Amino acid sequence: MNKEVFTLTSPDGNTMELPVRTGTAGPDVVEIGRLYAEQGVFTYDPGFVSTGSCDSEITFIDGNEGVLMYRGYPVEQLAKHSNFVEVAHLLLYGELPSADELAGFETSITRHSMLNEGMLRFFNGFRYDAHPMAVVSAVVGSMSAYYHDTMDVNNAEARDVFTHRIIAKLPTIAAAAHKLTAGQPFIYPRNDLNYAENFLRMLFAVPAEEYEIDEVAAKALDLLFILHADHEQNCSTSTVRMAGSSGANPYSAIAAGISALWGPAHGGANEAVLRMLKEIGNAKNIPKYVEKAKDKDDPYRLMGFGHRVYKNFDPRATIIREMCHKVLEKMGRTDSPLFELALELEQVALQDDYFVEKNLYPNVDFYSGIIYRALGIPTSMFTVMFAIGRTVGWVAHWREMITDPHGRISRPRQLYSGPAKRDYVAVEKR
Ligand code: ACO
């Protein structure tokens, strides 16, 4: 809906009216698509801090108020009453499913969890110490070689089968990546277990003995998957949308998202938090590291603090903090020195003027790493855990992007600041 217009005046006095669009919630947006054609200038916004890249109906965040909603439902309500598979249906199809729809969706996700046996052999080509994120992104990319039938992006049925396949197979691929590093045999999925239980079993079971599923662990994992499921146009989701906007096959677009997630400024932060806590080692060292993080001449940052969008608090961190205590209690690790160190660091940073003034609060990854560790999940798998949950969001956004009738290939412009035109000089004259 056009509410009003923005009037832009160029240095030579030309004016141009730019339409303003109002969404269901959040700031209005100024449409600048005609700017170049009519005024011959581009806009410049490195890091896209003021730029909306699309019109989306999936997730809403209010960073100042600490609000996160999936399809209009506050994440706190979903965390309390729902489960990951139901939330996945909500994100993908726009509505909470009826009992029948949920049963059908769960069955389909369960039935797609096995991997093509050829793909399993693909794992053997990796070095035993390969980082699981490298393995997972490569194997997901390779799915385009195994599942040709679901690559027609213009076919609704193919899109649905792709959707169910990737969500069902991600935990199987992730667990297999871990088994490769652990030197243990691959464990096949089991259809009688729910999504989180099945993943825990594939990750930890060995053929030599029965594996007992810990309900607190499964619940914590399910909650973490819900909290990581989507976060509107973040770096990895924008990567998926951008890669997919060329019409590339969806497996490649998701593999691109996994690669983007790996960076320490994004999903790699949960792993970095654990490394940071180990490096700090002892509460008495905290002031030294806090000072380091505050030093303008030192690139060091406290991992797990700060967020591009949340400038008040990260609602996911509030939910997860509570679960963190439950898990540590159940696992008998309340006196874990690492957790004590984390809480101490949290308190010091929350009271420090630098962190308060810059609104740097603990984000979801500050706590998720501690929970994963308490569950016995290896540090190198932390970002993979994030990827399992976020796959649902990536797919929901890919589906929205690919079916958008106004969709075009993503192609930003630039401010060129390289050399002006110059002539080639022969090698012997340089
Ligand atoms: N420690 C110390 N200082 C920090 C931190 C930190 N963790 N984060 C931001 N700052 C400072 C910056 O130095 C900057 O200071 P300045 O204004 O004096 O230059 C200011 O706070 C603003 O930071 P930016 O980097 O401009 O903020 P941006 O929105 O670009 O970055 C980010 C957000 C990447 C999350 C950043 O806060 C960070 O690197 N945090 C640590 C990594 C992390 O936890 N990432 C996980 C993000 S959550 C997720 O992906 C699920």
> Each residue of 184-204: pLDDT tens digit?
999 999 999 999 999 999 999
**Which residue is closest in CA terms to ligand 1's atom 14?**
358
Contact 166, 250 (CB under 8 A): yes
CA pair distance 387, 181, nearest whole angstrom:
18
pLDDT at 2 (0 to 100): 53
Contact (CB, 8 A) for 365 and 390? no
Distance CA 274, CA 280 (A): 10
Q: What pLDDT is stored for residue 334 in this prediction?
A: 63
For ligand 1, the distance from its centroid to the CA atom of residue 147, given in whole angstroms, is 39
| Nearest-atom index, ligand 1, CA of 228 | 51
Q: Which two tokens stand for residue 396?
A: 């929901």
Residue whose Cα lies nearest atom 36 of ligand 1: it is: 306
Q: Residue 35: which residues within 8 A CB-CB, separation 6 or more?
A: 8, 16, 18, 41, 42, 43
Atom of ligand 1 nearest to the CA of 308: 29
Residue nearest to atom 44 of ligand 1 (CA): 304
Query: Ligand 1: which atom is nearest the Cα of residue 235?
Result: 50
Q: Alpha-carbon distance 275 to 35, whole Å?
A: 46
Whole-number Å distance, alpha carbon 333 to ligand 1 midpoint, is: 30
Find the farthest-apart pair of alpha carbons in the chain and give their distance in angstroms, rounded.
Answer: 79
Task: List the structure tokens of 30.
Answer: 């100024």
Cα of 65 to ligand 1 centre, how many Å?
A: 18
Distance CA 382, CA 400 (A): 28
Nearest CA to ligand 1 atom 3: 301
Residues annotated as catalytic are 307, 365
Model confidence pLDDT, tens digit, residues 250-290: 999 999 999 999 998 888 888 889 889 999 998 899 999 99
Q: Which of 310, 411, 328, 424 is nearest to 369 (CA)?
A: 328
Highest mean pLDDT among 91-105, 308-322, 333-347: 91-105
Phi, psi of 17 (to 5 degrees): -95, 125
pLDDT for res 171: 98
| Minimal-distance CA residue to ligand 1 atom 41 | 303
Residue 335 pLDDT? 65
227 pLDDT above the threshold of 90: yes
> What residue type is 265 in one-letter code?
A
What digits encode the pLDDT tens for the residues 383-408?
Answer: 999 999 999 999 999 999 999 999 99
**DSSP designation for 383:** H
- Cα-Cα-Cα-Cα dihedral sign, residues 184, 189, 195, 198: negative
- Ligand 1 centre to CA of 327 (Å) is 28
Q: Is the pTM of this model over 0.85?
A: yes
Q: For residue 202, how far is its CA from the centre of ligand 1 (angstroms)?
A: 35
Q: Length of the chain, please?
A: 430
- 174 C-alpha to ligand 1 centroid (Å): 28
- Best substitution site from 360, 383, 388, 390 to test ligand 1's pocket, by max atoms within 8 Å of Cβ? 360
Q: From 234, 300, 308, give the residue whose CB has the most ligand 1 atoms within 8 Å, as the site to mutate.
A: 308
Half-sphere exposure of 142 (CA within 13 A, CB side): 19
Q: What is the pLDDT of residue 323?
A: 85
| Span from the CA of 400 to the centroid of ligand 1 (angstroms) | 29
The residue whose CA is least distant from atom 31 of ligand 1 is 308
- Asked if pLDDT for residue 68 goes beyond 60, the answer is yes
pLDDT at 13 over 80: yes
Residue 15: strand pairing partners: 9
| Atom number of ligand 1 nearest to Cα 366 | 44
Nearest CA to ligand 1 atom 32: 307
Q: Which atom of ligand 1 is nearest to the CA of 293?
A: 2
Which residues, judged by CB distance below 6 Å to any ligand atom, belong to the binding site of ligand 1? Answer: 265-267, 269, 293, 301-308, 358, 360, 363-365
